[in-house]
Amino acid sequence: MSLFKLFDITGRKALVTGAGRGIGRVLALALAEAGCDVSILVKDIKSAESVVKEIQQLGRKGMAIQADVTRKEQVDKAFAETARELCHLDICVNNAGISIQKPAEEMTEEDWDNIMDTNLKGVFLCCQAAARIMIPQRQGSIINIASLSGIAVNVPQRQAVYNASKAGVAMLSKSLAVEWAQYGIRVNSISPGYMKTEMTMSSMAHLFQTWESLTPMGRLGEPEELRGAVLYLASDASSYMTGHDLVVDGGYTAR
């Protein structure tokens, strides 16, 4: 197989969670541009309408399904609908997540449950649903979005529970990779560093200068800079990689 053919995912079927905006939207469009039909799973269906149109403008089939990743029955139904409409599922990107910045001593039990249910339980439920489709196929790539926050303690913001949830995503990915390797399913994670997303731009811009000073490259990343990572993990170029956490953080965790 030629070098460029290794990265060719034309005709494959993908599902991306939390793709109404931010990193999820960028990754969904990247997969569509690379030739995939893409189903996006979102909690707010209105946020997905423009993304589906953009996917279709790239010449690929796009569809949106409203589902809460913390609800197993909704997840299972969404994945079944995706597999039915797209005929199968080759790539699953689990991006949906939330963050709450609050001192640990002030973190409520409800805060804990909301973060853990979305960021960790939600990833597990989506991985499980994807695997049940991929196991009979004997192939598939699952890519979970973790974070540098699962590797290093962020400052100056306080987000212990978020950090713990993202560390859990990376370890869950490794564990599932070992279990499902026998079925030809690869499970990896991507740990982005600080990114200029709608969320950070609107509510955390006052921290940018501090974050940049702690990042060896001296700047925040753009969500588009994660496209190469997801293409690599989704394609045959990473055929012997599973259980890996691919860090894309401008050198933050290398300090």
End-to-end CA distance of the chain: 38
Catalytic status, residue 194:
no
Scanning the chain, the segments in alpha helix (DSSP H) are 3-6, 22-33, 49-57, 72-86, 109-116, 122-137, 160-180, 198-203, 208-214, 227-234
Q: Which of 39, 47, 99, 147 is catalytic?
A: 147
Q: Which of 141, 166, 189, 191 is catalytic?
A: 166
CA 153 vs CA 30, 65, 161: distances in Å: 30, 34, 11
Name beta bridge partners: 161.
none
Q: Which of 162, 194, 232, 252 is catalytic?
A: 162
| DSSP string computed for 142-158 | EEEE--GGGTS--SSS-
Catalytic status, residue 189:
no
Q: Are strands 62-66 and 37-42 parallel, antiparallel or unpaired?
A: parallel
Catalytic status, residue 203:
no
Name beta bridge partners: 91.
14, 141
Catalytic residues, by residue number, are 147, 162, 166
